[in-house]
Chains A and B, each alone.
Chain A
Amino acid sequence: MTQILEILISGITQGAVYCVVAVGLSLVYGASRILNFAHGSLYSLGGFLAWYLVVGGPGIPLWLAFLLILPVLALTGVVIERAVIRPLRGSDNWKINTIMVTLGLAFIIENGLQLVFGPGTRTIPPFVEGSLSISGITITWYKLSIFVISLALVGALELFLSSTRYGQAVRAVSQDMQGANQVGINVNQVFSTTFALSVVLTGVAGILLAPVFLVSPLGGWAPFLKAFVIVVLGGLGSTKGAFVAAFILAVLEAFVIFYIGPSWAMPAWLLMLIIVLMVRPKGLFGVWEN
């Protein structure tokens, strides 16, 4: 019983971070219909930048590293959108071209990281040590704190989208681009903003999970695929859906890892993806897709 509870808790804490990666992915897809295949590599980028600042380089505290990395991630997002995505907008094979370009970008980031930092895996010490024990169930303070931070991030995003005028504009662009144009929304600016936010979200998730998983140049594909499955189950563009789906899937994953083995985690996600797509192609709360 204790064991099952521990697996459950581990799944839930993990799920919160996956949710951060997932809402980042769905934010960009919702606004600009771009499935960013470099999303996972940007997750790795976050982890590596943090590793460099905290461990490999100047050795500053993690919170300071966060403050320094956030603007870098946001800027990366804007640059990618401006330099790589925007030139393709309106071209003939827009969809396939964006897939090609973002995949290419993923490989550039991956191999760039490998060149700069070397191919090995890295880790960052957690910013809090120790663990909490309640009636035999143990959970580290670190996992608890990344759980809280992740919830706060997702909550903040949801609040931004639902209650600010700019958040409204983001939703407007995702629902009807011409309509957004007509009321005076600068659609290109919204694209850049969502891209920046998305990269920040996935990069932060990469930093938060660095002490739990390891950071490696190719390590972004797993969270990316997981995020995608979450987004599909939750319904593209639905933050609420992603939230629920992240917990369901992460808990399932935790059980698969415990009872069958870690190398089955990825095939299990793939199987879940197939089942989800078969049973509920529009996801639990899918609203944006027309």
Chain B
Amino acid sequence: MSATENTPLAKINSVFTGFGLMHDSMVYWAVVAGLALLGGMIGDSYVHHILILVFIWCIVIASWDLILGYAGIFNYAQLVFFTFGAYGSAMLSIYAGLSPLLAIAAAAGIGAVIGLIVAMPSLRLKGEYVALFTFAVHLALPPLIQQGKAIGMGGNTGLLGIPWLNLFGYQVSSIDKLTWYWVALAFGAVCVYLIYFIVLRGRMGLAFIAMRDADTFAQAIGVNEYKYKMLAFVVSAVFTAVAGGLYAHYTSVVTPKVLGTEFFLMAMVMLAIGGMGRFPGAVLGVFIVVIGNELLRSFDDFRLLLLGVAVVLTVIFLPNGVAGLFAKRK
């Protein structure tokens, strides 16, 4: 206990890089700045589109990594949070006329509530029970969205014509890829920074590591397991819901397809290939998978099968993902 009190928490070094917070932050923002510049240099709007998706995915996967990789909770309801964020933000801006940015903020609130609701039963369970329960929530959601047609969830066709983002009076249309590129990068960079540099290097991250690596020890030194696991759910859900909202306003369409096999598989492959609980593994995983997935477009029929194969092979042969490769070389 005294050790944690005497050590300024911000000084805890990343397990991955081994450097201090300042150093890592500077590297991080330099990379983000580089990506921002890169956006201006890219002329192809299709490439912009792919990278916009990458940035949105980064938020989802970083949030998932927070709960699955760092907190060690086998949560598979991540896309449920995403869906609530997307639908919530879309409906608030369509029906309540909320400006999209406000709607996204409200979606974050919805995410917190949903995170809490999913967390409560989950935290009474252990290990793989959590996995199954949360995945069951994921599977049970599409029929409920069907039922939600009555309250304006659009059923199978989903919601169309979701308002564009409005930045200081400027409408950012889906066609304006370059602006969207910077918007998505800004959202992605801030969220990922908050997750890995603020939350996970703070008291919460420390508690997670203690719980994951030495459960009884963590309890002995007074880490309130229930509280921190609950927080993990809520924080993870909030960020994921923001990503969902962003996605809704970018594509201006949300359908139950966000809960389909493709998205779920993509998310799994990203985390598996990147490596769980080893920043920046998961984020790298997003880049690799989204770009790889685009390169595989020509194999469209086999794409999902290949994604499944990729999950199995990486888990068996590269159990710590790409991040594991780097760690070995160190």
Contact of A125 with B by CB under 8 A:
no
**Do B305 and A96 touch across chains, with their CB atoms under 8 A apart?**
no
Report the minimum CB–CB distance from B29 to chain A (whole Å): 31
With a CB–CB cut-off of 8 A, which chain A residues contact B68? 96
With a CB–CB cut-off of 8 A, which chain B residues contact A277? 121, 124-125, 129, 133
The residue from B127, B272, B315 contacting A88, defined by CB atoms under 8 A apart: B315
The residue from A35, A96, A107, A263 contacting B308, defined by CB atoms under 8 A apart: A107
**Do A100 and B311 touch across chains, with their CB atoms under 8 A apart?**
yes
Question: Helix, strand, loop or mixed for chain A's interface?
Answer: helix
With a CB–CB cut-off of 8 A, which chain B residues contact A267? 140, 143-144
**Do B319 and A107 touch across chains, with their CB atoms under 8 A apart?**
no
Inter-chain pairs besides A100-B272, A107-B304, 12 sampled, C-beta below 8 Å: A37-B131, A92-B319, A93-B276, A100-B268, A101-B316, A104-B311, A104-B312, A104-B315, A111-B308, A267-B144, A278-B124, A281-B125
Please report which residues of chain B, range 252-273, place their CB below 8 angstroms from some CB of chain A when the two chains form the complex: 261, 265, 268, 272
Please report which residues of chain A, range 257-282, place their CB below 8 angstroms from some CB of chain B when the two chains form the complex: 263-264, 266-267, 269-270, 273-274, 277-278, 281
Please report which residues of chain B, range 219-264, place their CB below 8 angstroms from some CB of chain A when the two chains form the complex: 261
The residue from A91, A108, A112, A278 contacting B121, defined by CB atoms under 8 A apart: A278
Please report which residues of chain B, range 275-304, place their CB below 8 angstroms from some CB of chain A when the two chains form the complex: 276, 301-302, 304
**Do A105 and B140 touch across chains, with their CB atoms under 8 A apart?**
no
**Do A270 and B308 touch across chains, with their CB atoms under 8 A apart?**
no
Contact of A103 with B by CB under 8 A:
yes
Contact of A218 with B by CB under 8 A:
yes
Q: What is the bound-complex CA distance between A100 and B265, given in angstroms?
A: 10
Closest to A263 in B: B143
Question: Helix, strand, loop or mixed for chain B's interface?
Answer: helix
With a CB–CB cut-off of 8 A, which chain A residues contact B133? 273-274, 277
Contact of A52 with B by CB under 8 A:
no
Q: A99-B131, A225-B136 are in contact. Are A274 and B121 (CB under 8 A)?
A: yes
Contact of B128 with A by CB under 8 A:
yes
The residue from A91, A99, A274 contacting B74, defined by CB atoms under 8 A apart: A99
Contact of B22 with A by CB under 8 A:
no
Report the minimum CB–CB distance from B79 to chain A (whole Å): 13
Q: A104-B311, A110-B261, A273-B136 are in contact. Are A99 and B316 (CB under 8 A)?
A: no
Closest to A29 in B: B128
Interface residues on B, range: 35 or more
The residue from A92, A103, A274 contacting B311, defined by CB atoms under 8 A apart: A103
Contact of A221 with B by CB under 8 A:
yes
How many A-B contacts are there with CB distance less than 8 Å? 110
Please report which residues of chain B, range 301-323, place their CB below 8 angstroms from some CB of chain A when the two chains form the complex: 301-302, 304-305, 307-312, 315-316, 319
Contact of B137 with A by CB under 8 A:
yes
**Do B121 and A103 touch across chains, with their CB atoms under 8 A apart?**
no
**Do B261 and A107 touch across chains, with their CB atoms under 8 A apart?**
yes
Interface membership of chain B positions 128-159, coded 1 if the CB is closer than 8 angstroms to chain A and 0 otherwise: 11011101110110011011000000000000
Q: Can you show 28 pairs from A to B with CB atoms below 8 A apart?
A: A35-B128, A37-B131, A93-B276, A97-B315, A97-B319, A100-B272, A100-B315, A101-B312, A103-B135, A104-B265, A104-B272, A104-B315, A107-B311, A108-B312, A110-B261, A111-B304, A111-B308, A115-B302, A115-B305, A218-B261, A225-B136, A228-B132, A263-B143, A263-B147, A277-B121, A277-B124, A277-B129, A277-B133
Contact of A84 with B by CB under 8 A:
yes
Please report which residues of chain B, range 89-148, place their CB below 8 angstroms from some CB of chain A when the two chains form the complex: 121, 124-125, 127-129, 131-133, 135-137, 139-140, 143-144, 146-147
Closest to A262 in B: B143
Q: What is the bound-complex CA distance between A84 and B305, given in angstroms?
A: 16
Q: What is the bound-complex CA distance between A106 and B138, given in angstroms?
A: 15
Q: What is the bound-complex CA distance between A110 and B308, given in angstroms?
A: 10
Interface membership of chain A positions 113-127, coded 1 if the CB is closer than 8 angstroms to chain B and 0 otherwise: 011000000000000
With a CB–CB cut-off of 8 A, which chain B residues contact A112? 305
